[in-house]
Structures are given as C-alpha cells and as structure tokens.
Homo-oligomer: A and B are copies of this chain.
C-alpha cells in the first residue's frame, strides 16, 4: 500500500479499477451451454426438464463455492446471498433464468445468471465488501414455453400470480408444474413471497438488432413496452373448391390474409414506436381442395406508447370488421392480454448509461420489446436492465450469439452498478 494515499482513497481506486474476469465468464457460459446443447449450436433446456435440473445442480455447486447463503423457494427459484457489512439493510439483487426456449440460444437468460455470479466471484477474489447484501437469483420457467405463461416464478414471488394456480400449469404432455418441480427435487421450502429489495438489475441480451445497427455496446432500456394480445376467430363456408365459383365464396383464409397484412402495415400507418405481428394461425379443415371455413390467428401489438397501441387497436378492429363484412366471414375477437408499459427507475437507468460511459463503452437509451423477470421485479423494487448486442438481432434460435467481448462489457457494467447500489446506505 502506498503510504501517501489514505486508505479510503485506495479502496475507492481499487473499486473503480475492478473488472470481472471475461475468460471465466466465457467458461461458465460455455459449460452451461453444454447442458442441453444441440447439434445446431443452441440449447434445449426446457423448464423443469432433466437438463434444467443438471444446470441448476451445477449453479448450486458454484454458489456453494462462494459460501453464499443459498435458498430455494417453493417455485424452485434459487437465491444466493452474499452478506454485506450491514445485513439489516435490504439486499441488491440481480438475476435472470436458466431455462431456454425449445432449440433456443446459449445466451438468453443464462447470461443474466452467470453475469452476477461472475460479479460475486470478482468481489470475493478481490476481498471487496459491500454495505448491503448482494443476492444472485435464478427464476424458474421464465420462458413459459413448456409451462405457459412466461415469467411465472417471478410473477408468483412478486405477488402478481397465485402459487397454486401456477402449480397446476401443464405442459403439452399433461404434466403439471408442481409434479415436475418435485420430480427434479427443486420444490424448496422458502415461501415464494417478495421481500424488500433495494435495487434489481437484470443483465440480458438485447434480442433485437438496435444496438448492432447503432454500433453501441451497452443498452439501457428505459422500460418495457406495453403488450397487447388478441385472438381472432373467423368463420367461412367450407365447400369443394372445384365446383364452387369464386363469386359467393366465403373463404376464411382469404379474410385472414387481408387482416394479417393490415396488422403488418399498422406500425407504419400509426407512426411512432410500435411493432405488430401475427405469429400464429390455425386453418380448418386445412385441406387443399376444401375452402377454409374456420381460421384462428393471433395479434401481438407492442409500443412504448400505451395510448398509441390502443388507438392502433381501434383502427385495426374497424378494418377487421369491414374485411369480415365484405368477405361474409363472421368474426369474433378476444382481447386476450393487455399489460401497460413498465418504465424502469430513471435513476438506475441513468446509472447504467453513466457506468457504461465511465468504463469506456458506448451506451444507448432504448426500450425493451420483450418481457423479462424484470417486469415483475419492477412492480416491487427499483429496477433496471443492461442489454448487450444480439448478432443479427437473432434470439430464441440456435444461432443466437453475442460476442465474448460484449458479454464481458455488460458484466463489467453490472459489476459497477451493483457496487454503487450495494454501497448506498
């Protein structure tokens, strides 16, 4: 120690020069990617599957190596708590999820678990103490692709979803969430119930192309877009295609096609920040020589501007009704799910951007188009997210990729955001 510099100042310098170990983070991610790894280079690690269990077991061993206080709640979410100087203060928390989409990628979710784990390892090996405890968390079944809906465990923890209802969610084979949770041995005893959290940071790949397009390294979403889901049911009149002239047909698939294009044109028509998508369609009887008599399709509308999304839906509905009328195809519309936009804590969002700048990374204020466990956390604690670029904007696919340099950069921003929040009195 240099005798001319006071101890506090040395500590501060040491802290500000602190960086995570990018090589070790990469190794953690690669080790995890081998659990449920697919020939196509992706990961197939559905919630509460054997692969999920294997990844959890490994995660637990890594938490134990750090001598953390480990707890598993009754939804199977795993918490690893590193004591602070003052353990009566509420902890600072960071985490994401271990489960993947079917044939998903190697970064979605797991980066946000390995990131804070690497931060804790870095603090340990540098002998850094924080005022507040620091907790790393892995939420069960964020994807919801095996047990819909998504973000079910953070939803129960935050008090937004009911535990017993969540337990009875079934997969496509009819197995319940709770059966599978018990089968893999991860039904913990801790109640899945929120406790005070000083700040929550979720580190995640962007899952979109914005950072790459703008040439930025760190994204700081100001919040999560609103999300509106609709289900459209159309009726037509089935008939043999050969003997049925075009005049007088009631072709439900043609009506749906017109509507799908209206959805696609909606964002350009409305202006402003918006995406609108039809991802799912079911056609009946789906036979090449019978005119379709029943079509069901979905509509997904998202925007940072809640009012714009609602106005867009009003316009879209009018189009739908007039297309249905012209085609003689009765329409039924269900408003399936609506979540308003969720703005993050502005102080924390600025901290992410400032930290990125201080570390020499370019940053971008943006919006999160996808939901995350941070959506529920944002209801109960000051929350922010840290995004790193997705190459080609791809995610939920086997080719999902983020450079190791960007993974390291994001983890360094997370490190310094966690330190700053954890030192707040």
Interface residues in chain A, defined as those with a beta carbon under 8 Å from any beta carbon in chain B: 102, 145, 206-210, 225, 227, 229, 237-246, 248, 251, 253-254, 256-258, 260-261, 264, 267-268, 275-283, 285-292, 298, 300, 302, 368-371, 393-397
Contacts and interface: CB of A to CB of B under 8 A. Distances in A.
Given A279-B286, A281-B286, A242 B292 contact: no
Contacts of A238: 394, 396-397
B289 A241 contact: no
The 5 closest A-B pairs by CB, nearest first: A208-B243, A242-B369, A243-B369, A257-B257, A288-B298
A276 B291 CA distance: 10
Contact of A246 (B102, B268, B368): B268
A245 B370 contact: no
Question: Most chain-B Cβ atoms within 10 A of its Cβ — which of A279, A281, A371?
Answer: A279
A179 to B, nearest CB: 24
Contacts of A246: 264, 267-268, 275-276
Contacts of A370: 240, 242-243
B251 A264 contact: yes
A229 B279 contact: no
A341 to B, nearest CB: 12
A238 B280 CA distance: 12
B208 A245 contact: yes
Contacts of A371: 242
A85 B177 CA distance: 78
A15 to B, nearest CB: 33
Task: Say how many copies of this protein the assembly contains.
Answer: 2
A251 B246 CA distance: 28
A364 to B, nearest CB: 13
A253 B281 contact: yes
Nearest to A370: B242
A242 B224 CA distance: 10
30 contacts: A102-B285, A206-B243, A208-B239, A208-B242, A209-B248, A229-B288, A237-B394, A238-B394, A239-B397, A241-B277, A241-B302, A241-B369, A242-B370, A242-B371, A243-B368, A244-B275, A246-B264, A246-B268, A248-B393, A251-B277, A253-B278, A253-B281, A254-B261, A257-B257, A257-B261, A277-B291, A279-B290, A280-B288, A281-B281, A282-B286
A37 to B, nearest CB: 19
A393 B241 contact: no
B278 A289 contact: no
A369 B260 contact: no
Contacts of A243: 206-208, 210, 368-370, 393, 395
B369 A244 contact: yes
A171 to B, nearest CB: 15
A275 B371 CA distance: 45
A150 B283 CA distance: 22
A309 to B, nearest CB: 12
A284 B288 CA distance: 18
A284 to B, nearest CB: 10
A286 B297 CA distance: 10
A239 B396 contact: yes
Contacts of A267: 246
Contacts of A278: 253-254
A300 to B, nearest CB: 5
Nearest to A277: B241
A257 B210 CA distance: 27
Contacts of A275: 241-242, 244-246
Nearest to A392: B237
Given A242-B369, A257-B257, 11 more contacts: A206-B243, A207-B240, A208-B244, A209-B245, A210-B243, A239-B396, A240-B369, A240-B395, A248-B393, A279-B286, A280-B286
Contacts of A210: 243, 245
A1 to B, nearest CB: 47
B280 A287 contact: yes
Given A240-B395, A242-B368, A394-B239, A289 B283 contact: no
